[in-house]
Amino acid sequence: MITYPVIKKGAAIGVTAASAGVGPQSVELFGQAITRMEEKGYHVLCGDTVFRHDKAKSASGLVRGKEFNQMMSSDEVDLILPPWGGELLIEMLEHIDFSQVKNKWIMGFSDISLLLLVITLRTGIATAHGPSLGDLRGEVIDKTTAKWETVLSTASGESVIQRSSPTDWKTVSGEAVTLQGRLLGGCIDVIRHIIGTPYGDVRHFQENFIHQEPILWYLENCELNTADLRRSLVQMKLAGWFDNCSGVMFGRSGSNTPMENYTAEDVYRELTEELQVPVVYDLDYGHIPPQMTLINGAYAEVKVSGGAGTITQYFYE
């Protein structure tokens, strides 16, 4: 059974730097994001890690884990929203007290997607792959990214639809496709590193939380060349992550650098041939905006046709 949090107007946002913190050069930009949230009526609570950053992280994994545990267990925090991604979130996983994880939204992407995936796999609580707080600093935000509030306000048992931006969604087959399944995913650069660890037990999630319903994977590539992307996907397959998979989606990426004429399209084609499931790509999420909000654990129906598409998420238990 999947549990869905819900936010309401005036919610308290707990900001903890689970990966990178806010360095001196970014304080002004980050301050704009806080202002925007306060203008919307949210109450912003920043933890001690937020305005710290050195050696590729805000603090040690232990310190970050303790602050996350405090915010997760606190009745004064309704939503946890890190300032942005980073590099070394994996260091804090062993310090998370999963017994203290409450039914509240955690949202972010990039390195934060590792935290999101682990929380959903271990607890069955839905998590939100969407914009980080720093991405919401603009006076005007595109309607695709701005949909995060609607998605996180959707009640259990209801559904929410998101439509493609004026980009070009693609299918490997070149034909219209429909995909359905329970969403799981994140930034492949980081989530691949929990394969084979207690934090990446996809089979346990399938058996205990979604009762063997098919998984619809959404992935995005931050920095991998195509050979490394391919290696990562093969590792996921060999680890059983693609067992009972109904399809794979890829967000747009500026880092699909070909390796000796080996392109991302080659990778996608090989994956669909091996798994015998539809593969779609260049969707609206990842490191190239705009950014849809995708919910780990939600049942989704994805339709792609003629370069456009929709993602409908059903908040079913």
Residues catalogued as catalytic = 110, 220, 287
For residue 44, the one-letter residue type is: V
Instruction: Kindly give, in sequence order, each residue whose CB lies less than 8 Å from that of residue 316, ignoring residues fewer than 6 positions away.
Output: 2, 157, 298, 299
- Within 13 A of 134's CA, how many CA atoms are on the CB side? 22
Q: What φ, ψ does residue 236 adopt, rounded to 5°?
A: -60, -45
The rounded distance, in Å, linking the Cα atoms of 147 and 282 is 19
Instruction: Kindly give, in sequence order, each residue whose CB lies less than 8 Å from that of residue 138, ignoring residues fewer than 6 positions away.
Output: 32, 36
Residue 271: Cβ-neighbour burial (10 angstroms; 0-12, 13-18, 19+): buried
The rounded distance, in Å, linking the Cα atoms of 61 and 90 is 8
